[in-house]
Amino acid sequence: MRRRIQRHPLWARLTRTALSARLTKYALGSVVAFVTGNIAFMLFYVMNASTTVCSVAGFVAAAIPNWILNRRWAWQRSGRPPARQWIGYIGVSIIVLVSTSAATGWTNARVQSIPAHHGLRLLIVTAAYVAVTVLLFFAKFAIYEYWIFSERSRVRAAFRSLRQVPRTARANRIP
């Protein structure tokens, strides 16, 4: 089955370069996380939990498969992750969590006039959760690609060079 998928022309086109392969695998992993997160969000919303609790449940349900699939499959990293990966992933995840909680809370406050038993309120509030998730999709990929799962952190290198420039420039100063 795996070999058959790898020989498929669409898969070959989507994974032509290393970057496109990571983006494709990231997208597929994100679909898995998206589905599990939305199911958890809707289940908690149907149980009359607050939108913040729903967002946290959706976040946790999505974050676990997202981390595993992104790190091991899309970016092919194994072993114990360095602190940069954990801290970066948690930081990005907190931004996503706060964004989804704020969007769903604001949306839920606006749809209280719709009766809860119609399902329309569930769809509208879930749509707000989905919209934030989709908007952050490409931003998260860029952060994962260039900082969190990068072999060499370009961000860390930039900070290191900022520290080194004053030291080297100091040697060339005239007293």
User: Domains of the chain: which residue ranges?
Assistant: 19-171
**Mean pLDDT score across all residues of the chain:** 83
pLDDT-wise least confident of 45-59, 73-87, 136-150, 158-172:
158-172
Query: What is the pLDDT confidence band of residue 14, given thresholds at 50, 70 and 90?
Result: confident
pLDDT tens digits, 24-53: 889 999 999 989 998 998 999 899 898 889
* Averaged pLDDT for residues 9-32: 83
The conformational region for residue 119 under phi > 0 = left, psi -120 to 50 = alpha, else beta, is left
157 pLDDT tier (thresholds 50, 70, 90) = low
- How many angstroms separate the CA atoms of 49 and 42, rounded? 10
